[in-house]
Structure 1
Amino acid sequence: MSDGFREGLMSPDQAAELINTGRALSIAGDRDLLLQLPSGNWIGGTTPYFVASEGGLCSRKQVYVQCLYGIDASISNYDGDHLPHVLEDAPEHGYSIIILPAGSRVLEDYARYAPTYFDMFIKPIAGWVSGVHVDELGQASAAVVDGRTGELFTDRAVVQHVRVPEHESVAVHTVNLFEAGDGPELEFAATGFSAEDCLIDGRPGNLADTVQSSGIDSRWPLVADYCGALVNVSVQSVDPQTRAVRFYAPVFEGVRYRFARPVGNYPEAFLAAMPEEPGEILFSCNCILNYLHSNLEGRRTAQLTGPITFGEVAYQLLNQTAVYLTLERD
């Protein structure tokens, strides 16, 4: 929702013009481009991947700008110690957009503890995990930017807290293709972003060995029921030498998981799942794994445009999910 202001994919010079209007913005792009932008009321995160109105693409020459609708907005950045207060700072009537850097301790803290934060699931919060080009995984660091000062962080979260009129409210939505399959039930002894040994149908075993010996397609995430909501945990890598599996989000101790039921035609299924009439969209983002596995380059995803991300936030951290916010009027 742009109120007449252009938003979407643009050059750094065009983004600078929009920043200078004073609008509250969320901006995604290559690190060097974000550091060129003037100070203002914006937050940013690193990613070269986007889905624009013309389709999905990878670009290191353009940024994706989202104008955040509201009466007013304020920016905060949080380290791990202060992150639990994120929604205490949020308006009573509005929403928050959060960006966290991939591979950071602050992301791990959010992933583990966000469901316990004060006002969580009461005040709307959505957002994304910044990343790098997939060819640079393990070499470059994801980052976020506090646009007030232009300062770049690799281990802090940046947040836009936005207030909306009292007769309006904001709803958080997700698009998730996956449900638990019929394979073995998995249970982990500790919460974390990696796992080796675990319980497999109640018996001790090694997850990496099971993935390899069973021919499990690691495109399909682990799925668990978190208090009635199906939540994905995507596989980042399976290392046969260390016999370890790394994830894009943590698996939790005491939660039972199964690998997702295979999706017959991933690209078509994902595009078919996009909402045709989602309402007035305030913000949206989509997962890098959906982008890669659904071959979204050059393809449109209805009205859901925005950054392609390395994790998504719809209250808690999600994987392989599209997230969007809509404006609701009383």
Structure 2
Amino acid sequence: MALAQQSSPHARHARSTSNVMLWVMLAALPGLLAQVIFFGWGNLINVVWCMALAIGAEAAMLRLRGRPVKFFLQDNTAAVTGFLLGLCLPPLVPFWVSATAVLAAIVLAKQLYGGTGSNPFNPAMVGYALVLISFPLAMTTNWAEPGLVWGTAPGIWETLKVIASGQQTAVDAYTMATPLDQYKHNISSRTAAEVLQHPTFGEGIARGWEWVNAGFLAGGLLLLWQRLITWHIPVSFLAGLAIMSLAFGSNPDQYAPVSMHLLAGGTMLGAFFIATDPVSAATSHQGKLIYGAGIGILIYLIRTWGAYPDAVAFAVLLMNFAVPFIDYYTPPRTYGHHKARRGLPRKGQG
């Protein structure tokens, strides 16, 4: 009898991969709701568009590879990739930019490596990084100004028109730089008090962004409660970023404060939904701590001294490179042994 073979991730309990992916999307809904409330309809439209395109691209690639389309689509991994890209991309980004990101994620980063469980890099972050490098203007000038809750953001039909046409001039009144970008490029010539007068910061840490991060934090805690992820990567991720910020950015007149690093960008989305990808992340508990801390440290370094104000995608991809090395030197202790065997075997050992 011929059996369908699948590679990792392998569940240890009754939950199927499809069920886990559904929970991931459910947990991300509070963050998506906050994006819609504070930044308009763009991210919701992007989520729907990216999910549909991701499922279609996955089906086409499976058919080209001679794999059972229905069987593999039911794991919902393609839908989650599209969902995450829709959350990450600017709300008013042209549709062809998001389409490029999705196709790169599904075709290049996932299917060309063998499909679910075989990709060494996070597919969503590959797609995001590709369009950020290839279309920097579209990816940095289409962040919506916080406004829907105050009645100043475009309506759903106007948002659809902007995304479909890609005409930036139609939405100049609705767009501005992200808080991290605004702070980074102005703090060199102004004081922190002067920089924070910009409307993007509002009366809190970053107008609307702190609520978006709170939504993703709540969803991440739901994933932890459901035991779909472990605490090791999110905690070490946030700790690495916070420690670096406290160590090097104690003076807000020089660098962004720790509160802005944690609540003004894609930090919580990255910590709980992206870095915890079971395929491209480290596997052992010790390895996860190293992996998560490395991402947090790299995010701070790139945000502070690099060219990109958020940097979650690049930090995750760089640590994806390091995962085989981390896993090799941090294997879990095997049953019957007091210590885990690490590194190269000594002479005479098998």
TM-score by length of 2: 0.25
Structure having the higher strand fraction is 1
Greater length-normalized contact order (CA 8 Å, ≥ 6 residues apart)? 1
Larger Rg: 2
Which structure has more helix as a fraction of its residues? 2
The alignment's TM-score, normalised by the length of structure 1, stands at 0.26
